[in-house]
């Protein structure tokens, strides 16, 4: 289902947007600066939730209540992944924006890459038995984040940690606070972002310890963007190209955020400031007559409902 991303695709997606510098190099801040308009009105234009939105909301709440009273489903022998886990839905026929954290609503992911002991503890706390094969792989064959952290600790740090005289050490929460710029996918599409990553990688000519590590990290970012595109494929949306309207902008942003939530288990996985970018798309579509105010609000409602389904073990 891959669509060839040509100049015509960008002309269509960016038609009506002001500014040029943000088109040459990825910069959401420049895109916002060139296109944002202040709103000085009140909330009187807002419409109430539709019957469809309320139905989706009821499914989410009832499912969560049922699992809280019993047990949340959880992966035990399947490691968290962006695109190797199937698409999940709440109510596929009635959803407007697609994309969940796992293959079913509120299914918890097994995330051993940060630290297998933490991941296995989470399994036990939810009533599951760790998988022996997963344990062997992540104790004998894979170096986790916490493995690296403990190897870096000095003897004094280890003693202080054991005595609980210091707090905030990274092994307690593994990857910390993550705030991505998820609207980049909506404005540019995955192909544009991947081409820029390739250019960054190719621009590094000097070979030393630091640049080798940097080239490896950029390569991993490039590969991850490819996985994000595959996640879009699972839901039947081609995020390789930029979004051409506000519904697609919301959809692309949700795919980007859920891709992160599928593999990142930090102390906080924040959405960041996406409303201002989505509002720019919305203003353009309203002026064109592409969507009505009520339709756009329903897209946003569906997006917010998706965000409320994110849950870590």
Residue range of the domain that includes 50: 7-56+175-307
Name which of 97, 53, 45, 104 is nearest 274 in CA terms: 97
In a domain, 191, yes or no: yes
In a domain, 313, yes or no: no
The SS3 call for residue 75 is strand
Q: Which token pair is 216?
A: 């490896």
Q: Is the distance from CB of 201 to CB of 222 less than 8 angstroms?
A: yes
In a domain, 94, yes or no: no
Is this structure's pTM higher than 0.85? yes
Please tell me the total count of domains within the chain: 1
Q: Is the distance from CB of 104 to CB of 241 less than 8 angstroms?
A: no
Q: Which token pair is 291?
A: 């969507």
Q: Look-up: residue for tokens 């905030």?
A: 168
pLDDT tens, position by position, 31-49: 999 999 998 888 888 888 9
In a domain, 118, yes or no: no
pLDDT, tens digit only, all 313 positions of the chain: 444 566 789 999 999 999 999 999 999 999 999 999 998 888 888 888 999 999 999 999 999 999 999 999 999 999 999 999 999 999 999 999 999 999 999 999 999 998 999 899 999 999 999 999 999 999 999 999 889 989 999 999 999 999 989 877 888 665 567 789 999 999 999 999 999 999 999 999 999 999 999 999 999 999 999 999 999 999 999 999 999 999 999 999 999 999 999 998 766 788 988 999 999 999 999 999 999 999 999 999 999 999 999 999 8
pLDDT tens, position by position, 210-222: 999 999 999 999 9
In a domain, 29, yes or no: yes
In a domain, 11, yes or no: yes
In a domain, 181, yes or no: yes
- Which alpha helices (H) appear in 109-167, and where do they start and end? 116-125, 132-136, 145-152, 155-162
In a domain, 223, yes or no: yes
């Amino acid at each position: 289902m891959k669509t060839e991303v040509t100049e015509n695709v960008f002309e269509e997606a960016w038609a009506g947007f002001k500014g040029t510098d943000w088109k040459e190099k990825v910069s959401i801040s420049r895109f916002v600066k060139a296109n944002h308009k202040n709103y000085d009105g009140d909330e009187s234009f807002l419409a109430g939730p539709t019957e469809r939105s309320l139905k989706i909301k009821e499914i989410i709440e009832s499912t969560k209540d049922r699992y809280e009273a019993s047990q949340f489903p959880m992966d035990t022998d399947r490691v968290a992944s962006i695109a190797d886990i199937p698409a999940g839905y709440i109510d596929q026929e009635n959803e407007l924006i697609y994309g969940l954290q796992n293959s079913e609503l509120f299914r918890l992911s097994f995330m051993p890459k940060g630290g297998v002991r933490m991941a296995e503890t989470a399994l036990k706390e939810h009533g599951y038995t760790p998988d022996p094969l997963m344990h062997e792989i992540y104790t004998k064959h894979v170096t986790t984040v916490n493995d690296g952290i403990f190897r870096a600790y000095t003897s004094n740090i280890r003693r202080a940690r054991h005595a609980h005289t210091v707090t905030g050490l990274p092994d307690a929460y593994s990857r910390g606070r993550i705030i991505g710029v998820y609207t980049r996918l909506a404005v540019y599409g995955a192909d544009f972002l991947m081409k820029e990553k390739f250019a960054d990688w190719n621009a590094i000519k000097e070979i030393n310890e630091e640049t080798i590590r940097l080239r490896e990290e950029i390569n991993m970012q490039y590969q991850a963007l490819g996985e994000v595109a595959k996640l879009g494929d699972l839901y039947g949306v081609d995020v390789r190209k930029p979004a051409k309207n506000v519904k697609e902008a919301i959809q692309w942003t949700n795919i980007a955020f859920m891709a992160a939530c599928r593999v990142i288990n930090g102390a906080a996985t924040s959405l960041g400031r996406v409303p201002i970018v989505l509002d720019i798309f919305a203003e353009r579509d309203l002026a064109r007559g592409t969507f009505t105010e009520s339709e756009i609000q329903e897209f946003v409602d569906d997006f917010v409902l998706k965000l409320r389904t994110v849950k870590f073990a």
